[in-house]
Structure 1
């Protein structure tokens, strides 16, 4: 038996006026997902005492209780980049963002939390410039993917209450700036380093948003996550373009599979992810694969209704349908869990702690009904799992 989690990041939503008070999942054309004869229910992936980040939510979906193992987002991303953290280190997520150009940083607006989803090659040049100007024995900047990078603070502080930039899109940043003088100083100085950098001069000429500042958030200490094989008895792999998800997998002793052209956006390399999933399950001997697709979340953060619908439809067409066919053609029994990690509602453009819908299909024991996979239909099923981290074991052990 092979086990697959198809994770459409942020694809759950609330009723949208422009869609006739329906959700993205209500209206998206997804015949492969809807056509699976499986069971549906609702699950709460984010405990009430934690913020609804993809870090907390994906830990829960992977079967880990975030209340016990969560030490912060950026340490998981640091693992993915290959950073060897000391116990005394604090890792901090370093976004490249686009701020408006007021002289006083407190009056600037968060124009774009991803700097136009800047390319990794461009971003590396900018982070190199930041490291050369601001890096020292206390602070070191490491390049990641696209707009997502990492700062390691030697003997640093936690509990800084830093704000994710995607939570303040289109807002003046003054009240969200850090109270810590050292972190504030790094962010403030970065603007002067980046605003006239040749990479940004070129981007502006091309009509793109410049990555004119860093934004620091998501701090934490070295992660502590139980080995996935020891926990479940399954050899597992993760397929994602996002450092966070790679870091969770690596920290859990899973294989992290890199796919060329995987971007974490609507236009990611779906074919490459599909081929990687087929190979890891049918040739490389892995029993479990976690396929993470970031597109719906990115569109949700931008308030892009049509883009988010398209992201869900592409997951259905390019991942779920062909992967099910390949496994059936290979004569392989499989179970598939389809779900988001959290909602990213169009109306708020940020994450929510609302419960999310899941669907479970088993090729050798079909049960339930063929029904549109949506928040409303999943809620009607009567299954509600309060502790989201328990869903994975129920899925693996077929106890729902």
Structure 2
């Protein structure tokens, strides 16, 4: 049996007046997604446990079969694993965003999607200045800071994408002496980066400067059994996002490197589909993660969100549905990890629509894959960390 889990990050949404009170999923041209809904079972999936932040890390950990309440330790450790940084017993890993700040307000949580090459130059300067902990280059604006001391776990931080347009001073780290130290590092970074040659050059090109860092999402190295130990399946991930790759490392999955997988709107959808099909040859289960709908949701861009959904449908799901019947048996699950509604601009905890098709999966007379149709599906409301048990065991 081959298993495919296709995740459109942030794909679910709310009805929009601009779309005649329909969601992007309802208006998008997505014949292959609708085919999965028609040929299978549908329902709603609760990916975020009550009381937990609706992050992609929490949601995707649950989708991969692990209860976030038991196994989730923070976003930072996942970023660390994805770039090969091995954490010591007392190390605390923070996610380090490069951001743009003007007039004391956070204007851009990704500094105009700064390149990895540019980030590496800024990281080098930060390490030359700060003597406590160490910074590591990740991908684009997504970088890493390691603090040597577990007391940093108590620091309260906020995701930068949740505070765009708001005063920095209202959202700085809090809760104790270490929080004051982390807060000072953030503030000091603005002085260090303000006139950095990289930012001067970016400004000349009309790009927003990466004139401050934002530390958040900290945690320690998690301990968990691999997916193969838990389910007896050899798995792989297809993604352009570090935190998903980090989950893959801890879960013993093969992270397939896909040229052109950017984790942004310009990701190479066709390449993701092509590499997923190839990976099926020697893997039992494939997690395909596409970040683009989430990025469009954060940007409040309806057109780009619809376009991302349609690209997933035509360039990834379509080729997969053509290929999967060549195997003796398969099951495919289509879902979002969480909503990123256009009118909210960030993640929400609402359950997401999901559909399962394949061997011995009963049809339930749903004709469209979308938020409203899923409510009438035979699967009802389920908990995400039990999804693989349902997919594999039913």
Q: 2:141 aligns with which of 147, 153, 160?
A: 147
Is structure 2 residue 153 aligned with structure 1 residue 161? no
User: Would you say the 8 A contact 1:115–1:147 is kept in 2?
Assistant: yes
SS in 2 for 1:158: helix
1:274-313 mapped onto 2 (5 Å cutoff): 274-282=273-281, 285-313=282-310
State how far apart, in whole Å, the 2-side matches of 1:27 and 1:115 are: 31
- What are the within-5 Å matches in structure 2 for residues 162-181 of structure 1? 162-179=157-174, 180-181=179-180
Which of 350, 353, 356 does residue 346 from structure 2 map onto? 350
Local SS of the residue matching 1:217: strand
Cα deviation, residue 98, structure 1: 0.8
Matched residue count: 387
1:203 deviates by 1.6
Structure 2 CA distance, aligned partners of 1:24 and 1:173? Answer: 32
Instruction: Work out the CA distance in 2 between the residues paired with 1:120 and 1:368.
Output: 46
- Secondary structure, counterpart of 2:99 in structure 1: strand
Deviation at 1:326, TM superposition (A): 2.3
Aligned to 2:80: 78
Q: Residue 247 of structure 2 corresponds to which residue in structure 1?
A: 248
Contact 1:340-1:356 within 8 A present in 2 as well = yes
Indicate how the Cα distance of structure 1 residues 365 and 51 shifts in structure 2: closer, same or farther if over 3 A, else same: closer
Pair 1:319 & 2:316 matched: yes
CA distance in 1, matches of 2:149, 2:336: 36
TM-score by length of 1: 0.94
**Which residue number in structure 2 is paired with residue 25 of structure 1?**
25
8 A Cα contact 1:262 1:268, kept in partner = yes
Q: Confirm or deny: 8 A CA contact 2:41 2:378 kept in the other structure.
A: no
Q: Give the conservation status (yes or no) of the 8 Å contact 1:333–1:364.
A: no
Q: What aligned pairs does 1:75-114 form with structure 2 within 5 A after superposition? A: 75-100=77-102, 102=103, 108-114=104-110
RMSD (Å) for aligned C-alpha atoms: 1.4
Tell me which residue corresponds to 1:105.
none
Task: Measure how far apart 1:109 and its partner are.
Answer: 1.1
Partners in 2 of 1:209 and 1:67 — Cα distance?
38
Matched with 1:214 is 213
Separation in 2 of the partners of 1:149 and 1:380? 42
Q: Any stretches of 5+ residues in structure 2 without a counterpart?
A: none
Query: Does the aligned pair in 1 maintain the 2:42–2:366 contact within 8 Å?
Result: no
Select which of 334, 338, 343 maps to 1:338.
Answer: 334
Shift of 1:14: 1.1
Whole-angstrom CA distance in 2 between matches of 1:41 and 1:126: 46
